[in-house]
Amino acid sequence: MKIYHLLFIVYLGHSAIPANAGGLLAKTASDQHLSTHPEKLLINAIENIQNNNTAQALKDLRQLITINPNFKAAQLVYADLMLARAQEITDFGNTPNVPFARITALRDEVRARWLNHKSPIDRNKIPAALVKITNTQDHIIVVDASRSRLFLFKNQNGIPTVIKDFYATIGKNGTGKQIQGDQKTPIGVYFVVDFISPETLPDRYGDGAFPINYPNVWDQHHGRTGYGIWLHGTPSKTYSRPPKDSKGCVIVSNQDLNVLAPFITKGRTPVIIADSIHWISKQAWQKRRVDYEAFVETWRQDWESLDVNLYLRHYSKAYIGPDKNYKLWAEYKRSAGPSKKFIKVNVTDISMFLYPGKEQLLVITFVQDYTRDHLHKKFTTRQYWRLEEDGHWRIIYEGAVT
């Protein structure tokens, strides 16, 4: 076995080389132009190491660290490759005086980038979580923690379509945030609520930060604590961070953050964070959307019917609103119902997102235009619908979006 092929295995492990590696790599290289983007140059260099083309690998890496000297993972690959010319490499990172944990973290970053390249997503499919997007949501962000990847989707006539993806860092202790200080990234459906410019932030946040609304009402209902979960950049002297290296935030390079920024709108851009994305066919996605739209429309019609029992059948016995549980909510509706002569409800700008994870939970946001007798109100409402044991979806939470 040649020394450079051994180096490739040391970095990425035997499992990283599929049986048809040569054909797969050739196809990927032809489909995806390798420009001067740092990750593409790194991938190109690793591919050349795997194919024992060390001269080209060194050329790619020299170009990469010249353009971006702060890309520490690339610096380490380059150092190992240079050392491999003189002696056998038996481990990743043969650099003295560097902590083992730091070396391992850099190896994990190289591996995460390579594995994403080796197993690209099927761009003809759609994440199951993206049930329906409204016209006012131009773009959607979906984070796949297992792949260390952030995907940017564009709303193309109501169909979410991947337009770009980025390497991303999550919490040091993984996902599933429960309490403040656990250094985990939350799993769920969130929305960007603001932008904080780099001038007002410490250098560690890079070229700015987009806070998301963690803890949302569902997190609060489950007693989850903590705050300050942001999508942000990297320190000025660091190109990227290891896959698990934040206190709970999602981190991308400053270069990638600046690419993302124009597509993010305060108060509108959804951020779905999942352990792993479940991709479905466009046909399955369209059917699911129609099915979910149907039970929301039935809820709307039952409300207009003035039949309180029909209306309340859409609410879970475990319902908890901003100020009422199910019992109080039902009592209020039954006492107020007889006084109404008519109700007219118009629902527009509907978005629907399935919550990542095992629990069947649907987050629905819409503009509610409500008229009855001499009262007219128009505001944005957010509902959480849960699939219950009898197979019916019911509202577990409902409240205005502030």
Answer whether 239's CB lies under 8 Å from 39's CB. Answer: no
Answer whether 233's CB lies under 8 Å from 196's CB. Answer: no
Residue 231 parent element (H or E): strand 230-232
Q: What are phi and psi of 258, to 5 degrees?
A: -70, -25
pLDDT digits (tens, 9 = 90+) for 222-235: 999 999 999 999 99
What single letter denotes the amino acid at residue 311?
A: Y
Tell me which residue of 349, 362, 367, 391 sits closest to 218, measured CA to CA. 362
| Spatial separation of the C-alpha atoms in residues 280 and 126, rounded to whole Å | 5
Tell me which residue of 227, 249, 231 sits closest to 180, measured CA to CA. 227
Give the pLDDT mean for 283-291.
95
User: What band does 23 get if pLDDT is binned at 50, 70 and 90?
Assistant: very low
| Spatial separation of the C-alpha atoms in residues 210 and 198, rounded to whole Å | 11
Structural domain boundaries in the chain: 3-118, 126-279, 281-400
Q: How confident is the model at residue 98, as a pLDDT?
A: 64
Answer whether 240's CB lies under 8 Å from 69's CB. Answer: no
Give the pLDDT mean for 252-263.
96
Answer whether 188's CB lies under 8 Å from 218's CB. Answer: yes
Burial grade of 101 (CB within 10 A; 0-12, 13-18, 19 or more): exposed
pLDDT of 104 above 80: yes
| Spatial separation of the C-alpha atoms in residues 194 and 182, rounded to whole Å | 24
Q: How confident is the model at residue 50, as a pLDDT?
A: 83
| Spatial separation of the C-alpha atoms in residues 39 and 331, rounded to whole Å | 59
Q: Within 13 A of 80's CA, how many CA atoms are on the CB side?
A: 27
Give the pLDDT mean for 176-183.
97
User: What band does 402 get if pLDDT is binned at 50, 70 and 90?
Assistant: confident
Name the least confident of 232-241, 355-364, 390-399: 355-364
pLDDT of 27 above 90: no
Q: Give bridge partners of residue 280 from the DSSP assignment.
A: 126
| Spatial separation of the C-alpha atoms in residues 332 and 397, rounded to whole Å | 16
Pairing state of beta strands 149-156 and 126-127? unpaired
Give the pLDDT mean for 24-47.
62
Does this model's pTM top 0.85? My answer is yes
Q: How confident is the model at residue 275, as a pLDDT?
A: 96
Rg of the Cα trace of the chain? 25
| Spatial separation of the C-alpha atoms in residues 45 and 24, rounded to whole Å | 16
The architecture that CATH gives domain 126-279 is Beta Barrel (2.40)
Calculate the alpha carbon distances from 19 to 1, 3, 25 in Å. Answer: 17, 20, 11
CATH hierarchy code of domain 281-400: 3.10.450.50
| Spatial separation of the C-alpha atoms in residues 141 and 50, rounded to whole Å | 33
